[in-house]
Each structure stands twice: as C-alpha cells, then as structure tokens.
Amino acid sequence: MLFRNVFSSAAIFFIAQHINADIIDHKKDNQASPADTPGHMSLPGLFELESIDELKLNWETYNGIRLDTGRLLFENGPGSVWSTPQLANTRDEWTIETTFRLTPKNGDSNIHHDQSNGLAFWLINPSNTGPIDDRNVNNYGGPSQFDGFQFLMNNKDETGLKIFANDGSKVLLNSLSDSIGNCGFNFLQSDIPYSIRVSYSKQRNWFKVQVDNNLCFKTNAIVLPDEIDDFKFGVSANIGDTSEFFELFGINVWSHLTSDAIDDHGLINSGQVKVDADTVVVKDKSDNFVPPSYIRESLMERTRRQQEEIAKQQSNGLSNDGLKEISQKLAQVEQSINNIKFGDGSSAPSYDIKVLETYIQDIKNVQSQQSQILSDLQQSYTDFKSTITQQYSQMLSAVSKLNEKVIGEVREHQFSMEEVGKKVDLLMANHKEISHQYQNQQPLQIPKTDYPGTIVKWILIIIFASILVLTLVIYRLRHDIKHSKLL
C-alpha cells in the first residue's frame, strides 16, 4: 500500500510536469509560427469565380465536376481537379489542406453510400504515373497505377480515411490491408465540412496526416528522395447511382509547416498506424525565424515513457537487492560443498547435507517472497495504468467534443456571414438597376422625394451594422479557439 501511494504520487508529479512542458512548447510554437496565409498554388476562392473555366489557367478539371455557389460538386460518375503547376519545395517542407463534405441530394436525410463511392486526395510523381486525363479514372476518379500517395475517403472495410503508397509498379485494390495507415470516423452523416491536412518536413523528419486538426497518422519512416520530381496534386471522386454528392470547398498549399500542422488538437481514437516509427528529437539549426526546435512528444507518450522508466527503476532496485541476497546464499552453499569430504570419514556428511538443505530452503523462501512482491507490483502498475488510460480517454473525448462544437459554430457563423454578404450584394445590384430604369423612363419629371430609396438605404445601414456585429462575434470565437488549444 505504501509503495502504491509513492508510485501514484510520483506519476502525478510527472504528469503535472509534462502538462506544464506541453503548455510552454505550445506557446513557443505559436510565437514561432510564420504567417499561415495560403500560397499562390492554392485553389482560388470559389466564391469569386463565375465559371469553372476561370480555373483553366492553373488547374485541370475532368468529367463530372461543376462549380456552384463557391464549391466544386462531384455528382455523377468520376471527376477530378488537378493543379497544373507542381508542388514546389516537395523534397523539403510543405503543408496541403483540402476541405470537403458529403451531402445528400434533394434534402434526403439518409445517405446510402456505396463502396464504389469515395473522394481521394493525391500527391503523385507525374514522371512515373500514368496519364492524368478523362479516361484514366478507375481509382475513384484518379489513376489506378501511380507513384506517390493516395488519401482515400470511403466506407470500404471501414468508414474513414485510408492512406495508400505506391511506387508505380502495381495496381492497388484500395483494401484496408494495402494501406500504410488509416483512421476511422463517420463522415457520411455530417453537416459540417471535414478538413484533411498533409504535412511533410525533411528537417524535422516527419510525415503527418490530420483530420480536422486531430492527428490521424504520423511517421518518421517516410523520407522523400532528393531525385524525386515535384509532386502533382489534386482531388478526385466517384459517385455512382446513389443519393449523395461530394462538395469540395478548397485546396490550400503552404511552402512551410503551419501552426495547425505542428499542433495537434487531439487524436483520432479509432485510428490505426501501420508504420512502425520511433519519435526522434531533431535539433533545428538552420531556421532564422526560431521555429519550434524539437519534435514534441504528446502528453500520452510522455506519460507512458515515464511510467515505463519508473517501473524499470523499481524493478531494477528490487532485483538488485534480491540478487545480492541470493548470491550470498549461493556463496554459503558453495563454501559448504567445498568443506564436504568424501571417502576419508573425517567429516560429517549428514550435517553438511542438512546445512545445504537449510540454505536451499532459505533461497526458496526468498524467491517466493520476491515473486509475491513482483506480483503485487504488477497489479499496482496495472491498476494505475488503467486509471490513467481511462482518465486520459475521458479528457481526450471532452476536448474533442468541445473542439468540434467550437469549430462547427465558427463555420456556421462564417457561412451565415458569407450568405448575408451575397444577399447584400444582390440587393445593391437590384437597387442600382431599378434606379437606372426609373431615371431613363422619367427624365423630364421634377425630382420628388425618393421614399423607396431612403428605405433601402436604412435597410442597408441595418444590414451593415449586423455584419459588423457578426464580425466582432467571430473575432471573439476565434480568440477563444486559440486559447482552447491549451487544453
């Protein structure tokens, strides 16, 4: 009981110490992060486009894809959108994020998502991949034989994200067993868009995939060779004869690791990482803007490591004491054996044998006591591990729910603000057209008081005031989200 109390106190101290270390590292990350404005290779703002043909300067679109109210829709059959310029800085450091949603057609609340339906994000080596055109679409709107990575969202084997890697030599069947990693979550019944973020850093030695800022997959076993060509990237999807369609809201590209890519809000609980990798601490020697210098271990990893170290130290201390006592007993046994004389009758063998039996019995008693102590220690460690795991799971679940709720509210407010802006623009355009027609029809009449115009102006003033209030609310929400990362 005393050992259990000491062990629990030490573990609580280490957990508190690591929470404090995580908070300090989090502050350093936020201070060192560069501006997270998407780069020029990102998909342009879809609300600003009037036709999908405006994408042709830097993007290629194929088959069943169309532009509608600030989004690209994948409705019938295969479709895809690919960047014409290739990913700069491929071999060094980058971050790519895409946002999508699965929506039922005609307001149908039940989504019957077939296994042949899915959306894929691609990072491929174009020099070792088949042609990207409207015929090579057998793999969810993309190439069936490729050199690079495919990040596939479907419900085959398991609903969620599956990560595939290929060298261009074979055709993948998109089964869960072929994936290098996956994380399961239900994207079929969600009104809120999902974001998939892929980041790579040669200097920090990581390849990471996040879903809505939650860690899905991370490894240091993937290193892009210096001779590889710059990646070609894009999004494809396939929709069969079912009552849903995919919406693509954007593709953002950065030539560095963003602050969100560095900081994970949580873990995908059902995710499974299939690449064995060790966490490596890498000293950052070249960056002048003083970014985070080390790859930080998560709280769960640090707690687990400290538990193992404490158990190892306790086990070593106990084993050393026990071995010392056993060695002393064995030395006494050896001395007794050496003192035994056979054949000359000068000694008393029966007495020596009794002494040996006594020593052997003492050794057995010591071993029995050690076994009991080890059993109690193992049980204490198991109970403590179970308690810590349960508490951490509850904390992680609460943080994930809070994060999802806050992000959902922010997105809803942002969408409402955009809708209000569009309605204001439409109202102003209609007002200008009506005024122009009225002036053309009655050019010679004496001007009268413009009561409708005055009413419209007051309506516009009220709308702009509402927009200002919404902007302040959204600013406060974002400020609260930044502070919520401390959890």
Q: What is the distance, to the nearest Å, from the Cα of residue 475 to the centroid of all Cα atoms in its chain?
A: 25
- Is 420 in contact with 466 (CB distance < 8 Å)? yes
Orientation of helix 349-441 relative to helix 299-339, angle to 10°: 170
pLDDT for res 301:
56
Q: Report which of 409, 415, 405 is spatially closest to residue 71, judged by C-alpha positions.
A: 415
Query: Tens digits of per-residue pLDDT, 259-310?
Result: 999 988 777 655 444 333 333 333 444 444 333 333 444 445 555 666 677 6
The DSSP code sequence of 148-190 is EEEEEEE-SSSSEEEEEEEESSS-----GGG-SEEEE---SS-
pLDDT in tens, 322-367: 566 666 666 666 666 666 544 444 444 455 576 677 778 888 888 8
Q: What is the pLDDT of residue 241?
A: 78
- The Cα 97–Cα 259 span in angstroms is 13
pLDDT (0 to 100) of residue 475: 85
Supply the pLDDT for residue 343.
43
Bigger pLDDT: 324 or 11? 324
**Residue 169 pLDDT more than 60?**
yes
> 346 or 51: which carries more pLDDT confidence?
51
pLDDT of amino acid 67: 92
Q: Give the pLDDT confidence score for residue 26 in this predicted structure.
A: 44
163-172, 203-212, 453-462: which is most confident: 203-212
